[in-house]
Chains A and B, each alone.
Chain A
Amino acid sequence: MSQAVRIRAGYLLAVAALLLAPQFFYPVLVMKVLCFALFACAFNLLLGYAGLLSFGHAAFFGGAAYVAGYALKSWHVPALVGLLLGTLAAAALGWLFGRLAIRRQGIYFAMITLALAQMVYFICLQVPYTGGEDGLQGVPRGSLFGLVDLADDRNLYYVVAALCALGFWIIERAIHSPFGQVLKAIRENEPRAISLGYDVERYKLLAFVLSAALTGLAGATKTLVFSFASLTDAEWHTSGEVVLMTLVGGLGTVYGPAVGAGVIVTLQDQLADKVGSLVSVIMGCIFVLCVLAFRRGIVGELQALYRSATGNRY
């Protein structure tokens, strides 16, 4: 089989799995996994390809969730318009964060994004539009173009799947475009990228805004799925969770983070009732294990295994 055929077969398999998943699993859970998969892949665009660790992505996820929720609930906009507004809001917020944060690098970048996200969290807590601690509840799912009733889980599932597929497609295009190549160059050697004449800050900012916007799409979609936007979405634990998903799945692999999201969300769903508060201990252990011994993540390890088995570097 040639490379191209294999890749095409892979995509067909993925699409088939996506279409059939609700026959075998609880559709709401699959939709949750999809939202977090998109979230993690968007986050990975920044960490895996631009080398920027943001510890504040919850702000975009939660911010978009609230904006979309508010628009759907109070302005009664159609479902897709609500999602679009959420995404745009996240992009704007991402631009603001990016302007401030890309002035510093590495650990500072992580701390600044974390602090800014915490500020957003407090704003979400205090402004009257978000319902504060109670969250924004009873967000109507509405319908698609007035034709398809989204209150039905199955109908909504295919819309969510299509939206996430769109998100993945954008990410993949971005990574394999010249823009993605420049990002990788910056990650590998920033001074060299500068000396080659690239406006590094602009590229970083653009990557940041793109990542924030797609994160926003994921957050807004989650609001639609659960009819609910809550402070949890904007909390720093959520920022940490997405780092974990990315790490588990495979940092810098295109679809690794999606696998990681699937693993972590399913794990949390299964464990929550059995071990209670020990969930966070287990998550912490996975974190430590990944950092110490498993830095390539599931997909990264599989790729390495495949390469060593075939003796093929690519």
Chain B
Amino acid sequence: MSGLFGVPWPALMGQLMLGLVNGSFYAILSLGLAVIFGMLNIINFAHGALYMMGAFLAWMGLRYWGIGYGWALLLVPVLVGIVGIVIERAFLQWLYRLDHLYGLLLTFGLALIIEGLFRHQYGVSGLPYEIPAPLTGAFNLGFMFLPRYRAWVIAVSLSVCLGTWIVIEKTRLGAYLRAATENPRLTAAFGINVPLLVTLAYGFGVGLAGLAGVLAAPVFQVNPLMGSNLIIVVFAVVVIGGMGSILGSIVTGIGLGVIEGLSKVFYPEASATVVFVVMALVLMLRPAGLFGREQ
């Protein structure tokens, strides 16, 4: 059997596909973080908790109100976005004048609260969310069975990421956003409502986390701790990519998913740490991150 370093091609390709799926989650989450960071200069520690909330809202929708996956995919991000807007108006807006670290600390506190509440209500053993009927089954790619749902995750996240990039880089709204990021005071002087843009950006970034949560619900169990396990990896992704560009966060997210997938083939024990090792390497060679600009 031919292969790479003794690993047969089918196994390798299979793991690469899986890496792509994980990378899709990293990409959506780090994209949301990048949008928020761009506008608010805050690292949103609550991102993981809001991702978890997205998964829970999807589960609750199905369980209590009979709202299916399709509607959840549309409604949950909006709901989580609204939660984000409330958070921004109620808490974050008071911190913009202070050291940015306070934003990190506040969102850390919020993450503890959100996680604790869900944990108290639902325990941590995880709740099942069935894969929606039209997306069950698998494609036989020859080298592996790719479950339809995983393919769907890749497709949705790629199109959402691409859409976000187009909106920010190619539309008028995006131009306002970028202007407000570069120089909020000047942008306000042109008559643009910068605080509103900030609020919307936070709502949007958090909404992306909610979307990722809905996408994740059928893949992983719906679990109050699902976010905190993931968010630290995403932080490393953000450090590796640098917060410089929207595209950068997407590419890094997917790329690291793939690297993680490869490590599972060649040295599975390292799969939990490989992202952090890459981060250390990048920091030594390019402290600003792959796509970051030196301040």
Q: Hey, which bits of chain A sit against chain B, CB under 8 A? A: 53, 55, 100-101, 103-104, 106-108, 110-112, 114-116, 118-119, 122-123, 125-126, 236, 240, 243, 247, 276-288, 290-292, 295
Question: Within the assembled complex, what's the spacing in Å between the Cα atoms of A115 and B282?
Answer: 13
Contact with A along B105-117 (1 / 0, CB 8 A): 1101111111111
Question: Within the assembled complex, what's the spacing in Å between the Cα atoms of A178 and B42?
Answer: 33
Which residues of chain B have C-beta atoms less than 8 A from A280's C-beta?
112-113, 115-116, 119
From 25 to 67 in chain B, residues with beta carbon under 8 angstroms from any chain A beta carbon are 37, 41-43
A-B contact pairs, 6 of them (CB 8 A): A110-B101, A115-B232, A126-B272, A280-B112, A284-B113, A290-B105
A124 nearest CB across to chain B (Å): 11
From 210 to 237 in chain B, residues with beta carbon under 8 angstroms from any chain A beta carbon are 228, 232-233, 235-236
User: Smallest CB-CB separation from B33: which chain A residue?
Assistant: A111
B141 proximal to A (CB < 8 A): no
- Tell me whether A284 and B106 are in contact (CB under 8 A): no
- Tell me whether A118 and B269 are in contact (CB under 8 A): no
User: A277-B119, A291-B106 in contact; A111/B112 too (CB < 8 A)?
Assistant: no
Which residues of chain B have C-beta atoms less than 8 A from A100's C-beta?
280, 283-284
- Tell me whether B116 and A279 are in contact (CB under 8 A): yes
Which residues of chain B have C-beta atoms less than 8 A from A279's C-beta?
116
Which residues of chain B have C-beta atoms less than 8 A from A276's C-beta?
120
Which residues of chain B have C-beta atoms less than 8 A from A118's C-beta?
232-233, 236, 276
B136 proximal to A (CB < 8 A): no
- Tell me whether A247 and B116 are in contact (CB under 8 A): no
- Tell me whether A115 and B236 are in contact (CB under 8 A): yes
- Tell me whether A111 and B91 are in contact (CB under 8 A): no
Partner of A291, one of B109, B284, B288: B109
- Tell me whether B239 and A103 are in contact (CB under 8 A): no
User: A100-B280, A108-B239, A116-B276 in contact; A278/B116 too (CB < 8 A)?
Assistant: yes
Question: Within the assembled complex, what's the spacing in Å between the Cα atoms of A55 and B110?
Answer: 16
Which residues of chain B have C-beta atoms less than 8 A from A282's C-beta?
116
Count chain B residues whose beta carbon lies closer than 8 angstroms to a beta carbon of A: 46
Question: Within the assembled complex, what's the spacing in Å between the Cα atoms of A224 and B105?
Answer: 31
Question: Within the assembled complex, what's the spacing in Å between the Cα atoms of A279 and B120?
Answer: 10
Question: Within the assembled complex, what's the spacing in Å between the Cα atoms of A291 and B228?
Answer: 21
Given contacts A112-B279, A287-B105, 16 further A-B contacts (CB under 8 A): A103-B283, A107-B37, A107-B104, A110-B104, A111-B235, A118-B233, A119-B276, A122-B273, A236-B228, A277-B119, A278-B116, A278-B120, A279-B116, A284-B111, A287-B112, A292-B95
B184 proximal to A (CB < 8 A): no
B101 nearest CB across to chain A (Å): 5
Question: Within the assembled complex, what's the spacing in Å between the Cα atoms of A279 and B116?
Answer: 8
B102 proximal to A (CB < 8 A): yes
Question: Within the assembled complex, what's the spacing in Å between the Cα atoms of A125 and B284?
Answer: 26
B135 proximal to A (CB < 8 A): no
A125 nearest CB across to chain B (Å): 8
Chain A to chain B: the 8 pairs with minimum beta-carbon distance, closest first: A287-B109, A284-B112, A284-B113, A281-B116, A280-B116, A119-B276, A103-B287, A115-B236
Partner of B109, one of A115, A122, A123, A288: A288
- Tell me whether B283 and A112 are in contact (CB under 8 A): yes
B277 proximal to A (CB < 8 A): yes
- Tell me whether A295 and B102 are in contact (CB under 8 A): yes
- Tell me whether A53 and B284 are in contact (CB under 8 A): no
Question: Within the assembled complex, what's the spacing in Å between the Cα atoms of A292 and B91?
Answer: 7
User: A123-B273, A277-B120, A295-B102 in contact; A114/B235 too (CB < 8 A)?
Assistant: yes
B94 proximal to A (CB < 8 A): yes
B100 proximal to A (CB < 8 A): yes
Partner of A281, one of B104, B105, B120, B284: B120
B33 nearest CB across to chain A (Å): 10
Question: Within the assembled complex, what's the spacing in Å between the Cα atoms of A295 and B95?
Answer: 11
Which residues of chain B have C-beta atoms less than 8 A from A111's C-beta?
43, 235-236, 238-239
A275 nearest CB across to chain B (Å): 9
Query: Which of B95, B100, B117, B280 gathers most chain A CB within 10 Å?
Result: B280
Question: Within the assembled complex, what's the spacing in Å between the Cα atoms of A11 and B60?
Answer: 56
Question: Within the assembled complex, what's the spacing in Å between the Cα atoms of A181 and B102?
Answer: 24
A188 nearest CB across to chain B (Å): 12
Question: Within the assembled complex, what's the spacing in Å between the Cα atoms of A126 and B94?
Answer: 43
B183 nearest CB across to chain A (Å): 20
From 158 to 208 in chain B, residues with beta carbon under 8 angstroms from any chain A beta carbon are none
Partner of A114, one of B116, B117, B232, B280: B232
Question: Within the assembled complex, what's the spacing in Å between the Cα atoms of A223 and B288?
Answer: 38
User: A110-B101, A111-B43, A285-B109 in contact; A291/B95 too (CB < 8 A)?
Assistant: yes
User: A278-B116, A285-B113 in contact; A240/B108 too (CB < 8 A)?
Assistant: yes
Partner of B106, one of A53, A236, A292: A292
Question: Within the assembled complex, what's the spacing in Å between the Cα atoms of A4 and B230?
Answer: 52
Which residues of chain B have C-beta atoms less than 8 A from A292's C-beta?
91, 94-95, 106
Which residues of chain A have C-beta atoms less than 8 A from B238's C-beta?
111
- Tell me whether B269 and A284 are in contact (CB under 8 A): no
Question: Within the assembled complex, what's the spacing in Å between the Cα atoms of A46 and B273?
Answer: 26
